[in-house]
């Protein structure tokens, strides 16, 4: 009996020592630094991959030396079944423990996509399709159905997507990013419309979006947005034609060659604000929050005209009367001729 007790005790001690040694080895391994390049590495866990496949991929890519302790730790802690598919950016200093936490939290690598103020819907779709991390599913023929799915009250996509930088995981679809941008533009437009100057002649948030898109195309200067919006607002109030070149260019469409002619200005289209009164039927570009804010809170004043100064700063000269405007136009043309002579 005594001999059996000694054997049992010895076996128990051996198992305890073995378990303790294993736990120490696992802990040491999980806290050791993985072999990650200085600029990091993109590690993919494919959808449906087992934990064994994940650990083997880590070994095959030289990130960890052995999958034995990694697999053991994952199963001991129950994290082996919680690993999520996706692309993960592993950074220098990562340990097996920190990587496993990353894999189970779903902290996948995020990429950026920026919608630029002033883009039109063709620019937007082309940029989405040019991004290799975004899954393309939309064509130009899909806009009407897509907007209907979003519950939009209009069928033309122009102006409906907020210029902003969006973060996304690899494989995100263009539709998902567009949906996010649409919802944000809805929110921004509602917020700015609620704070509008109620004396403006705009009847709806959509009209504000149209005017904001014109302001966006007319100037990139923050200090001019409200002033230009003020000019257009007063022209609308006085039933003067807006006479803004960007709307004419938009009406010409993709065939515009960069040279706006007098014939273009005289050719009537729904977007020609030289031949038609009021706003064009839709926005002509994607306006940002600042342009929307300017459209609904224009600067007060008496100015009814503006023209580029011809200076390198993108500024404009503003006038109250046609005579003042004609003089400003003459000065702009003089500067233009001078610049051309200097460039010869």
Residue ranges of domains in the chain, CATH in brackets: 32-108 (3.30.1490.480), 111-189 (no CATH), 199-343 (no CATH)
pLDDT of residue 1: 54
pTM of this prediction? Answer: 0.82
Task: Look at 176 and 3; give whichever has higher pLDDT.
Answer: 176
The gap between the terminal CA atoms of the chain, to the nearest Å, is 111
Q: Largest Cα–Cα distance in the chain?
A: 120
pLDDT digits 0-9 by tens, 149-177: 999 999 999 999 999 999 999 999 999 99
pLDDT of residue 48: 87
Confidence of residue 11 (pLDDT cuts 50, 70, 90): very low
Q: Given a cut of 60, is residue 322 above it in pLDDT?
A: yes
Of 112, 108, 115, 151, which Cα lies nearest the Cα of 134?
112
Cβ(168)–Cβ(110) under 8 Å?
A: yes
Confidence of residue 19 (pLDDT cuts 50, 70, 90): very low
pLDDT of residue 9: 44
> Please, what is the Cα angle at 62 between 58 and 64, to 5 degrees?
60
Of the candidate ranges 30-34, 61-65, 243-247, 275-279, the one whose mean pLDDT is the lowest: 30-34
pLDDT digits 0-9 by tens, 166-223: 999 999 999 999 999 999 999 999 999 999 999 999 999 999 999 999 999 999 999 9
% of residues, the chain, pLDDT over 90? 70
Q: Which residues contact 310 (CB under 8 A, 6 or more apart)?
A: 331, 332, 335, 336, 339
pLDDT of residue 323: 96
């Amino acid at each position: 009996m005594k001999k059996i007790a000694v054997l049992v005790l010895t076996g128990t001690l051996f198992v305890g020592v073995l378990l303790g040694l294993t736990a120490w080895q696992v802990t040491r391994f999980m806290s050791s630094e993985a072999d990650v390049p200085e600029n990091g590495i993109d590690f993919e866990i494919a959808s449906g991959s087992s934990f064994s496949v994940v650990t083997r991929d880590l070994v095959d890519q030289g990130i960890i030396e052995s999958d034995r302790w990694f697999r053991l730790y994952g199963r001991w802690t129950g994290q082996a079944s919680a690993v999520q598919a996706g692309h993960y950016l592993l950074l220098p200093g990562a340990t097996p423990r920190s990587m496993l936490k990353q894999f189970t939290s779903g902290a996948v690598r995020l990429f950026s996509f920026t919608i630029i103020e002033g883009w039109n819907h063709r620019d937007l779709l082309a940029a989405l399709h040019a991004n290799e991390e975004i899954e393309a599913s939309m064509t130009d023929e899909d806009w009407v159905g897509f907007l209907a799915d979003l519950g939009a009250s209009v069928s033309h996509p122009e102006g409906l997507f907020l210029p902003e930088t969006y973060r996304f995981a690899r494989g995100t679809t263009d539709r998902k990013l567009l949906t996010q941008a649409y919802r944000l533009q809805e929110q921004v437009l509602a917020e700015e419309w609620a704070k509008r100057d109620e004396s403006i002649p705009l009847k709806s948030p959509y009209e504000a979006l149209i005017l904001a898109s014109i302001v966006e195309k007319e100037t990139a200067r923050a200090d001019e947005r409200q002033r230009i919006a003020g000019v257009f607002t007063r022209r609308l109030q006085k039933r003067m034609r807006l006479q803004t070149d960007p709307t004419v260019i938009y009406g010409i469409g993709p065939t515009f060659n960069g040279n706006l002619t007098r014939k273009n200005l005289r050719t009537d289209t729904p977007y020609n604000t030289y031949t038609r009164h009021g706003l064009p039927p839709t926005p002509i570009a994607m306006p940002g929050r600042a342009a929307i804010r300017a459209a609904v809170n224009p600067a007060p004043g008496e100015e009814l005209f503006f023209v580029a100064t011809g200076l390198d700063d993108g500024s404009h000269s503003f006038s109250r009367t046609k005579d003042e405007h004609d003089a400003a136009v003459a000065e702009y043309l003089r500067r233009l001729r001078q610049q051309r002579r200097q460039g010869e």
